Amino acid sequence: MTSVGGLGIALFTISFAAVALIYSWKVAAPVMPFLYSNARVQARSKVLIPDSQWSTLSESRSLQDLIGALRETSYADALDKVENIREFHIEIEKGFVETVEELKRMTPDSINPLFDAYLMFWGAKMLKAVYRAKFTGQEIESLLLFPVGDITDTLLKHLEDAKTLADVRVIMEGTPYSPVFKESYTSLEAFEVALDNFVLGEFVRRATEIKTFDGKHIVALINTKFDIQNLLVLLKLEARHAPRETRKEYLIKNNTELFRRADELVYAKSVKGLVEKCVGTGFEQPLAAALEKYERDSSLSHFEHELCKFYKNIATNMERYHVQGPFPLFSYMVKKEIEMKNLMAVSKGVDTGMPPEAIMELII
């Protein structure tokens, strides 16, 4: 009996260990291809500009003084030959795109389509600049354009040389963006909303098709970004007293609680009324904080500031529960983008002679 009992215990132990091993493998398998990129991102996160350094940067006396203060950061090489504020901003944006492309190169090929879709958000910015110039009959500033993902130097050259919007449509045939250019638009805003809807749709579609680990959480993070964009659009339209029946046309159609309330939100009768209608969407706290400041000076910038802080906090909090796999890569890009926004705000403040304390109020 003793030997039989011992054998039973041994078999149970082996079975339990096998089940545990299988379970552990199922848990670990989806994130194992990302171990290298996760380690790299963790190392990079440690060299993001710390909160303590923004005060020092805000005290810079000139743009060149600011560039000097950034000499020990990852921005040093990119800013080495910058001479004015516009070049500063362009180089910072280029650096961000290069960061995304580098992250793509260090991740498994299976997730590359999602990085390509993410780059389309920045490619859309280039296309908006081109379309705006052709729509208004103005010259395109070459400085503003740089290659992003599928938008190559050659494609940009063709777009610059295009004479009309009809030429642009022909040039964009065969590119991932071609569906947007097959339509005609009566306003710049209509084109930009159509383009934003398209690139968001592409991101969601690719995340779904390739069945990305933690894909729904990554999509939720990106949807939050577009929710914020929609809120800022609604706030601006309300402040301008734009016709309520047309406001929904300017919104990104993402699948969130906020957009599902769009028919109600567009009929808010004041900025405060719009904030009140957002109760239950998850944005109550940042909107309430911004409203309190807005009621003192009527500046809508408070809303963008508070909502961006909220977005950064969401990415940081979600990262605590998704420490391995593709999610940390995307949360890092959110934090890097926020850092870029802060650098642009500081550089603009320094360049225009704002006092340090006023610049610090702009830091997200």
Q: How far is CA 156 from CA 167, 188, 246, in A?
A: 13, 19, 33
pLDDT of residue 287: 98
Structure tokens at 91: 């180089």
Structure tokens at 26: 């199922």
Same domain, 6 and 104: no
List, in order, residues 6 or more apart from 247 with CB less than 8 Å away.
234, 237, 266
Same domain, 23 and 146: no
pLDDT of residue 159: 96
Same domain, 92 and 207: yes
Same domain, 12 and 130: no
pLDDT of residue 14: 59
pLDDT of residue 11: 54
Same domain, 74 and 6: no
pLDDT of residue 3: 61
Same domain, 130 and 148: yes
- Any bridge partners for residue 148, and if so which? 151
Structural domain that includes position 12: 1-30
Same domain, 18 and 46: no
Same domain, 21 and 57: no
How many domains are there within the chain? Answer: 2
Torsion of CA 237, 243, 249, 253, to 10 degrees: 60
Same domain, 11 and 40: no
Cβ–Cβ < 8 Å for 343, 93: no
pLDDT of residue 25: 39
pLDDT of residue 31: 82
Q: Write a three-state SS string for 191-249.
A: HHHHHHHHHHHHHHHHHHHCCCCCHHHHHHHHHHHHHHHHHHHHHHHHHCCCCHHHHHH
pLDDT string in tens for the chain (364-residue length): 556 566 666 655 655 444 444 434 354 667 888 999 999 999 999 999 999 999 999 999 999 999 999 998 999 999 999 999 999 999 999 999 999 999 999 999 999 999 999 999 999 999 999 999 999 999 888 888 999 999 999 999 999 999 999 999 999 999 999 999 999 999 999 999 999 999 999 999 999 888 888 899 999 999 999 999 999 999 999 999 999 999 999 999 999 999 999 999 999 999 999 999 999 999 999 999 999 999 999 999 999 999 999 999 999 999 999 999 999 999 999 999 999 999 999 999 999 999 999 999 999 9
Same domain, 232 and 294: yes
Burial of 121 (0-12, 13-18, 19+ CB in 10 A): buried
Same domain, 304 and 156: yes
Same domain, 42 and 18: no
